[in-house]
DNA sequence: ACCGATATGTTATAATGTAACAGGCGCTGG
DNA sequence: CCAGCGCCTGTTACATTATAACATATCGGT
């Protein structure tokens, strides 16, 4: 998965993510309740990380009973079941591009437009595993967040 | 730089870090004022990331005038001059093991004892740069934080 | 229908981080 | 000397992110 191209059909993109989530939850015997489902949809609304309080505000406008624990619990569920990732650099959350297989996730974050793309590249994981092993360290989880300019913003002249 | 061994002389370790900081600041024409110096010492107190409010509390006990901006400003200075790194996963700060050359920093974080080690391994940087390039992404900064068990804690049986 | 487990509602508060402005200190040019 | 300027610090107030704790509701199996 990489950055969405301009002609990208985002409706289909969201439907795909929701279908994948449904099936992942069925597989794991997890309950994708209405509020969890809605939070996941909102996280997928655009290809950018979303803050918990932004989600909260949207939910409130939509008439949900909304207090911080509401959204944090939903996010916690989605994290535990590998449906979203947390971007530590931004205290924000983004949809997982390939749920099903638990994985750490590595992200490219555009400083100009805010877009996030999940990097499905094992060479990075491998380099980390090897470097850790050389230091006698056994890895359980890794966080990789790379800031820079996405292809569109480079073309647009954002960085020059 | 890796995890400190048991017979590690931490006094010398701190002195070395402070000397390196002095010289880096002289080089850059930056002023390592008493409060900045003290914050850096406190960050180096052990080989674990320290939170801003923990630093604040210590400073207060030592009689400094201490409000959040005090410590955040010192940390900001130390970050800008490459003397500390911020650990995004923990909202905490840790001393830089090789100041002088600006670099992103990659960290091994032990989940058991809390120790942090800065990875000076270019293979990870290279893998990331290559993966980013394949996606048409130009990197400006990267955050790599690897959680797991350090050699000592593995030996101690923490993970079994 | 009942029960235990899970999910949600609600209130309050903790933890982390910034904005904004006032005052001080040290250098530099007159 | 001293006026002006830049940087550093003090102080107050506030913004943002996250969790604790307890009450209530809902689901699913018996
Ligand atoms: Zn899309
Ligand atoms: Zn962009
Ligand atoms: Zn040491
Ligand atoms: Zn350890």
| pTM for the whole structure | 0.93
Residue B59 in any domain: the answer is yes
Per-residue pLDDT of chain B (160 residues; tens, 9 = 90+): 688 888 899 999 999 999 999 999 998 999 999 999 999 999 999 999 999 999 999 999 999 988 999 999 999 999 999 999 999 999 999 999 988 777 888 999 999 999 999 998 889 999 999 999 999 999 999 999 999 999 999 987 654 4
- Residue A56 approaches strand D within 7 Å at CB: no
* Domain with A101 in it: 10-155
- Tens of pLDDT, residue by residue over A103-140, are 878 999 999 999 999 998 889 999 999 999 999 999 99
The count of domains in chain B is 1
Residue B2 in any domain: the answer is no
| Cβ-based burial of A79 (10 A; exposed 0-12, middle 13-18, buried ≥19) | middle
Q: Which pLDDT belongs to residue B82?
A: 94
Tokens 């990197």 locate to B139
Contact B138 A149 (CB under 8 A): yes
Sheet with strand A138-149: strands edge to edge: A116-118, A106-110, A138-149, B138-149, B106-110, B116-119
Residues 6+ away with beta carbon under 8 Å from A123: B127, B130, B131
Q: Which pLDDT belongs to residue A120?
A: 86
Question: What's the Å distance between residue B125 CA and nucleotide C2 C1'?
Answer: 60
Residue B36 in any domain: the answer is yes
Query: What stretches of A13-137 adopt beta strand conformation (E)?
Result: 84-87, 92-95, 106-110, 116-118
Q: Is A122 on the interface with B (CB under 8 A)?
A: no
Which of A130, A137, A149 faces B137 most closely, judged by CB atoms?
A149
Residue A5 in any domain: the answer is no
Residue B137 in any domain: the answer is yes
Residue A77 in any domain: the answer is yes
**Rounded distance between C-alpha atoms, residue B141 and residue B2, angstroms:** 22
Can you list the residues of chain A whose pLDDT is less than 50? 159-160
**CATH number for the domain harbouring residue B32:** 1.10.10.10
Q: Is B117 on the interface with A (CB under 8 A)?
A: yes
B132 alpha carbon to ligand 3 midpoint, in Å? 34
Residue B4 in any domain: the answer is no
Per-residue CB contacts under 7 A with strand D, chain B residues 59-118 = 64-65, 67-70, 73-74, 77
Q: Is residue A153 marked as binding?
A: yes
Residue B1 in any domain: the answer is no
Chain A residue at shortest CA distance from B111: A140
Q: What is residue B48's DSSP assignment?
A: S
Strand D: list positions under 7 Å from protein Cβ: 7-14, 16-21, 27-28
């Amino acid at each position: 998965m990489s950055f969405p191209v301009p002609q990208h059909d985002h409706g289909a993109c969201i439907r795909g993510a929701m279908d994948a989530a449904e099936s992942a939850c069925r597989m794991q015997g997890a309950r994708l309740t209405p509020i969890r489902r809605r939070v996941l949809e909102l996280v997928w609304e655009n290809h950018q990380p979303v803050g918990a309080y932004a989600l909260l505000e949207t939910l409130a406008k939509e008439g949900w009973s909304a207090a911080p624990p509401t959204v944090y619990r939903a996010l916690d569920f989605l994290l535990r079941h590998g449906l979203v990732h947390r971007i530590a650099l931004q205290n924000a959350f983004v949809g997982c591009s390939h749920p099903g297989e638990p994985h750490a996730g590595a992200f490219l974050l555009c400083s100009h437009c805010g877009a996030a793309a999940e990097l499905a590249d094992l060479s990075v994981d491998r380099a980390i595993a090897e470097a850790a092993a050389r230091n006698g360290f056994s890895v359980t989880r890794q966080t990789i967040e790379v800031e820079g300019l996405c292809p569109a913003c480079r073309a647009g002249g954002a960085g020059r």
